[in-house]
Chain A
């Protein structure tokens, strides 16, 4: 992996995380993260869309014109999302029943247009696909963390309904905190999503701050070239 690609990976997962740093795609994110499995579902669908749209946009980047590039990107993204929805409906029906409602939501996710515009128009196909993949992974990471936290706090379970996504194999996977967990409604309702996301952003910033402090202390005497990435 080239150094450039390593930066793509780090950007997508952490430094420039779609949900925690760019704060994009919050509408679907806040709407569906009531459970771990819901979060994972939206995450996977978004990941596929990001990879495909970045790939296509990068492929045609020399043929567009600056005046109409945004409409063209929107056309491409809308076609891809519709194609994915139809294909899943036909060939992965069980999965579609779970994810189906999230797929149209992807259109409201501005991170896809943002990555097409900010990255895929300026870089080659391979790097663009990788960027889409890593951005998608970073998004999944936030979705399942938030979904998992809200599910544990709200209803005292984790991985509920996993069988809908992974088939009967996953039926026993659901964990329960205790049999008579009273439940914490706030965590499941929309305000819980806002509060949870705020806390996640705060934690990420705290970790970054601590690391940059350490990096300065460690690196100043020995290695002046390695500045903390940002």
Chain B
């Protein structure tokens, strides 16, 4: 077989398999896109409902959103999304992401819900790299520590008490891990301050009133 023909056949073969592979992946992507999208929305809604129970609001939480610009009080470096809960037109609560930049092992990503009256609805850890077995007690599934934030606000406890016990505050630390809870407490406190200053903007109804695409991944840097 002459060399040109051989090269041509080989190239054709490679192209054929590349086409088949791409077609297969494309076909499956097309057929699963809607289901995946739906699953992600449901998972996000479930996460939000952990912070604000579904009975507390009657609006579409996933579409009643506002985009927040990068904000040092929240530790965010990119745009993030805030979800607003309302009942019968009245503001109930807002849920947004915050990042504690100073964990033991990098950033700790939080989801923070705050009621209209400034009290914390709840805090959940979304992503972290803290030491397994020590710092990971901030996860709701590993310990109840994170639930201590429920009902706290800027005035309760007082400004000075927004620290872990070792620093003279009111929040527990873990045996062998002070840095992790310290970082989370600081981030939550700072998020409360942000809420206090920007409450009006956070609850403002979108003027365009068009449902914005809410994609949870885009809140990550």
Given A78-B21, A97-B43, A183 contacting B133 (CB threshold 8 A): yes
Query: Which residue in B10, B35, B131, B134 is a CB contact (below 8 Å) of A65?
Result: B10
Q: Per-residue CB proximity of A24-39 to B under 8 Å, as 1/0?
A: 0000000000100000
Q: Which residues of B sit under 8 angstroms from A16, Cβ to Cβ?
A: none
Cα of A120 to Cα of B16 in the assembled complex, Å: 20
Interface assignment of B25: CB less than 8 Å from any CB of chain A: yes
B24, closest chain A residue (CB): A79
Q: Which residues of A sit under 8 angstroms from B20, Cβ to Cβ?
A: 79
Total contacts A to B, CB within 8 angstroms? 64
Interface assignment of A185: CB less than 8 Å from any CB of chain B: yes
A97, closest chain B residue (CB): B43
Q: Which residues of B sit under 8 angstroms from A183, Cβ to Cβ?
A: 133-134
Cα of A82 to Cα of B24 in the assembled complex, Å: 10
B28 contacts A34, C-beta separation under 8 Å? no
Cα of A77 to Cα of B161 in the assembled complex, Å: 56
Cα of A68 to Cα of B15 in the assembled complex, Å: 11
Given A68-B14, A76-B21, A89 contacting B9 (CB threshold 8 A): no
Q: Which residues of B sit under 8 angstroms from A97, Cβ to Cβ?
A: 43
Query: Which residue in A82, A86, A155 is a CB contact (below 8 Å) of B132?
Result: A155
A66, closest chain B residue (CB): B10
Q: Which residues of B sit under 8 angstroms from A83, Cβ to Cβ?
A: 24-25, 28
Among A77-122, those with CB < 8 Å from B are 78-79, 82-83, 86-87, 89-91, 93, 97
B132 contacts A188, C-beta separation under 8 Å? yes
Cα of A179 to Cα of B122 in the assembled complex, Å: 28
B132 contacts A89, C-beta separation under 8 Å? no
Among A28-78, those with CB < 8 Å from B are 34, 60, 63-65, 67-68, 71-72, 75-76, 78
Interface assignment of A154: CB less than 8 Å from any CB of chain B: yes
Interface size (B, Cβ < 8 Å)?
A: 23
A154 contacts B13, C-beta separation under 8 Å? no
A72 contacts B24, C-beta separation under 8 Å? no
Query: Which residue in A68, A90, A154, A189 is a CB contact (below 8 Å) of B39?
Result: A90
B28 contacts A65, C-beta separation under 8 Å? no
B25 contacts A82, C-beta separation under 8 Å? yes
Cα of A129 to Cα of B146 in the assembled complex, Å: 48
Cα of A93 to Cα of B34 in the assembled complex, Å: 13
Query: Which residue in B10, B17, B39, B132 is a CB contact (below 8 Å) of A75?
Result: B17
B32 contacts A87, C-beta separation under 8 Å? yes
Central interface residue in A63, A76, A79, A185, by most chain B CB within 10 Å = A79
Among B88-147, those with CB < 8 Å from A are 131-134
Given A82-B25, A86-B32, A63 contacting B13 (CB threshold 8 A): yes
Among B6-30, those with CB < 8 Å from A are 9-10, 13-14, 17-18, 20-22, 24-25, 28-29
Supply 22 A–B pairs (Cβ within 8 Å), ascending by A: A60-B17, A65-B9, A65-B10, A68-B10, A68-B13, A75-B18, A75-B21, A78-B21, A82-B25, A83-B28, A86-B25, A87-B32, A89-B32, A89-B36, A90-B32, A91-B32, A91-B35, A93-B39, A155-B133, A185-B132, A185-B134, A189-B132
Using a CB–CB distance below 8 Å, which chain A residues touch chain B? Answer: 34, 60, 63-65, 67-68, 71-72, 75-76, 78-79, 82-83, 86-87, 89-91, 93, 97, 154-155, 183, 185, 188-189
Using a CB–CB distance below 8 Å, which chain B residues touch chain A? Answer: 9-10, 13-14, 17-18, 20-22, 24-25, 28-29, 31-32, 35-36, 39, 43, 131-134
**What are the 5 closest A-B residue pairs judged by CB atoms, nearest first?**
A90-B32, A79-B21, A90-B35, A93-B39, A183-B133
